[in-house]
């Protein structure tokens, strides 16, 4: 190992073949000497994973589901490879860009090992926010958000104490159906839902942005990340996705963080926080080109997934885990063409009605609630 590599920090990129994962590899490649790829994992995309491994030369490569393909012998296979990647000695930062609750064990294991988790996998905090916070308190591990809204809030907060905060204002693009009538939204197709106006992302989060379930996940994520009560977190629609979020302080001052809609900066900042480093690859902001900036209230009655998620957050226990798992299962069925758009939210509502009071006192009970919610949504879809 040369001196430069010895000083550079090892990053495990979990979910390296996805939208955030590939962005992260670009960002890391622009910071030689500061960061290097120590580990990579993917679910099934072995061809892309192999070319990424050739380019970045990590010490560990994990593939969850080889799907009949014969991967190189040095690779570790199976879901446990995520935890292995996240806890290696040569890994300083775990960039968790896995989609869904499948990323939970790796986040918790990395925090238990005292590492920094650069967290895109917001589902982790929704399912087990209290367990993650407890792990951080025990070990000195830390979570730095990759989600653009939370990165914005972190940047606005700086080193100020949370008692200085009156309100977090989380912005939402409004998704592809922001201006659609209620009836049109109910009959939206998969193709409609996948056409996001401002962000290019993986399929699951793109659908979450169409139902606004994503904003509910983000409010719960913000609650756990920053320790702010739900009644002090608001959502406002901002169609241009330029103001990434705002923090109102007790004296009435409001700070906002802005930039072009790109995940390059949030990914970079999650690695470097609280420092800033030069990166000419992050797209530059031109205020005139991005004018005008507008804000609107959320049409809550047309996007009921948001209110359902907020209520689940406020109720606590296993309710957020049920909300998340029901949403994951319903979106998976929608993506397979086995459920219609309106039924995603109806499935979440039904799962919360049946299972929302399950207890969430430990990981086993949260996982039981997660499994029950998935089974509930599948059964409901078969009977419809
Ligand atoms: P993608 O679907 O593009 O990528 C998901 C990645 O996770 C892929 O590498 C995939 O591997 C892997 N993966 C999928 N399922 C599993 C599993 N069960 N076990 C292990 N690995 C798995 O998703 P995104 O990059 O869009 O999103 C990732 C996370 O980041 C999500 O939590 C999302 O909410 C969050 N996020 C994303 C943003 C974005 O701009 N995309 C913005 C903010 C947050 P394979 O390719 O082999 O299937
Ligand atoms: Mg976001």
Q: Count other Cβ atoms within 10 Å, centred on residue 297.
A: 9
Please give the domain boundaries of the chain with CATH numbers for all domains. 3-145 (3.40.50.720), 151-262+293-383 (1.10.1740.10)
Kindly give the distance from the C-alpha atom of residue 96 to the centroid of ligand 1, in angstroms, as a whole number.
9
Mutate to test the pocket of ligand 1, among 49, 99, 201, 219 (most ligand atoms within 8 A of CB): 99
- Which strand (E) or helix (H) includes residue 272? helix 264-272
How confident is the model over 110-161, as pLDDT tens digits?
Answer: 999 999 999 999 999 999 999 999 999 999 999 999 999 999 999 999 999 8
| DSSP summary character for residue 103 | G
* Secondary structure E strands in the chain: 9-14, 35-42, 60-63, 76-77, 93-96, 116-119, 142-145, 165-172, 233-237, 243-249, 254-258
Longest C-alpha distance within the chain, in Å?
62
* C-alpha of residue 65 to centroid of ligand 1, in Å: 15
Examine the pLDDT at 1 and tell me if it is beyond 90: no
Torsion sign (Cα): 197, 200, 206, 212: negative
Cα atoms in the 13 Å half-sphere on the side-chain side of 295: 11
Confidence of residue 198 (pLDDT cuts 50, 70, 90): confident
The whole-angstrom separation of Cα 91 and Cα 13 is 10
CA 27 to chain centre: 18
Bridge partners of 37, per DSSP, are 11
Nearest CA to ligand 1 atom 39: 201
Residue 293: C-alpha distances to residues 2, 138, 250, 259, 337 (Å): 48, 43, 25, 12, 36
pLDDT of residue 231: 98
Residue length, the chain? 384
Note the ligand closest to the C-alpha atom of 208: 1
- Distance between CA atoms of 373 and 354, rounded to whole angstroms? 9
Pocket of ligand 1 (CB under 6 A): 15-21, 42-45, 64, 82, 97-99, 102, 120-123, 147, 199, 201-202, 204-205, 263
134: CB partners within 8 A, 6+ apart: none
Is residue 357 within 8 A of residue 335, CB to CB? The reply is no
Mean pLDDT for the stretch of residues 89-118 = 98
The answer to whether residue 2 scores a pLDDT higher than 90 is no
What token pair was written down for 314? 């406020």
Which ligand is nearest the CA of 50, by number? 1
Q: Closest-lying ligand to the alpha carbon of 207?
A: 1
Q: Is 38 helix (H, G, I), strand (E, B) or coil?
A: strand
Reported as a pLDDT band with limits 50, 70 and 90, residue 5 is very low
Q: How far is the CA of 197 from the centre of ligand 1 (A)?
A: 19
Give residue 142 CA to ligand 1 midpoint distance, Å: 21
Q: Whose CA is nearest to atom 26 of ligand 1?
A: 202
Distance from chain centroid for Cα 166: 25
318 Cα–ligand 1 center, Å: 23
Q: Of 102-106, 234-238, 281-285, 346-350, which gets the smallest average pLDDT?
A: 281-285
Centre of ligand 2 to C-alpha 50, Å, is 29
Nearest CA to ligand 1 atom 31: 99
Q: What is the pLDDT of residues 321-366, one digit of tens each?
A: 999 999 999 999 999 999 999 999 999 999 999 999 999 999 999 9
Contact 174, 293 (CB under 8 A): no
Say if strands 60-63 and 142-145 run parallel, antiparallel, or are unpaired.
unpaired
Residues with Cβ < 8 Å from 149, sequence gap 6 or more?
Answer: 170, 171, 218, 222, 244, 245
Radius of gyration for the alpha carbons in the chain, expressed in angstroms and rounded: 20
Helix (H) or strand (E) holding 237: strand 233-237
d(CA 129, CA 139): 16
| Other C-beta atoms lying within 10 Å of the C-beta of residue 277 | 12
At residue 343, the pLDDT reads 98
Task: Determine the atom of ligand 1 nearest the C-alpha atom of 17.
Answer: 9
Calculate the CA 303 to chain-centre distance.
20
């Amino acid at each position: 190992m040369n001196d430069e590599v010895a000083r550079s920090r090892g990053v495990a990129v979990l979910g390296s073949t996805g939208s955030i994962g590939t962005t992260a590899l670009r960002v890391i490649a622009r910071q030689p000497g500061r960061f290097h790829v120590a580990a990579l994992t993917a679910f099934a995309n072995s061809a892309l994973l192999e070319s990424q491994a050739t380019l970045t030369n990590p010490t560990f490569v994990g593939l969850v589901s080889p799907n009949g393909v014969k991967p190189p012998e040095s690779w570790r296979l199976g879901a446990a490879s995520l935890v292995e990647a996240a806890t290696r000695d040569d890994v300083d930062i775990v960039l968790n860009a896995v989609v869904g609750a499948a990323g939970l064990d790796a986040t918790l294991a990395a925090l238990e090992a005292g590492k920094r988790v650069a967290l895109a996998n917001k589902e982790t905090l929704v399912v087990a926010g209290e367990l993650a916070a407890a792990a951080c308190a025990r070990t000195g591990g830390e979570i730095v958000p990759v989600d653009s809204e939370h990165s914005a809030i972190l940047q606005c907060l700086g080193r100020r104490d949370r008692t200085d905060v009156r309100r977090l204002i989380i912005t939402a693009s409004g998704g592809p159906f922001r201006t659609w009538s209620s009836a049109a939204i109910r009959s939206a197709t998969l193709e409609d839902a996948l056409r996001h106006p401002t962000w290019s992302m993986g399929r699951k989060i793109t659908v979450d942005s169409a139902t606004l379930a994503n904003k509910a996940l983000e409010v719960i994520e913000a609650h756990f990340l920053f320790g702010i009560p739900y009644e002090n977190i608001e959502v406002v629609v901002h169609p241009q996705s330029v103001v990434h979020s705002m923090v109102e302080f007790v004296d009435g001052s409001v700070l906002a963080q802005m930039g072009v809609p790109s995940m390059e900066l949030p990914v970079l900042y999650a690695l470097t926080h609280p420092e800033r480093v030069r990166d000419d690859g992050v797209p530059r902001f031109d205020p005139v080109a991005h004018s005008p900036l507008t804000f609107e209230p959320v049409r809550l009655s047309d996007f009921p997934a948001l209110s359902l998620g907020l209520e689940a957050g406020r109720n606590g226990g296993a309710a957020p885990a049920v909300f998340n798992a029901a949403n994951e299962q319903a979106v998976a069925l929608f993506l397979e063409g086995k459920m219609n758009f309106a039924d995603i939210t109806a499935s979440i509502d039904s799962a919360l009605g049946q299972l929302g009071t399950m207890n969430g006192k430990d990981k086993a009970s949260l996982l039981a609630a997660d499994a029950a919610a998935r089974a509930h949504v599948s059964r409901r879809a078969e009977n419809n």
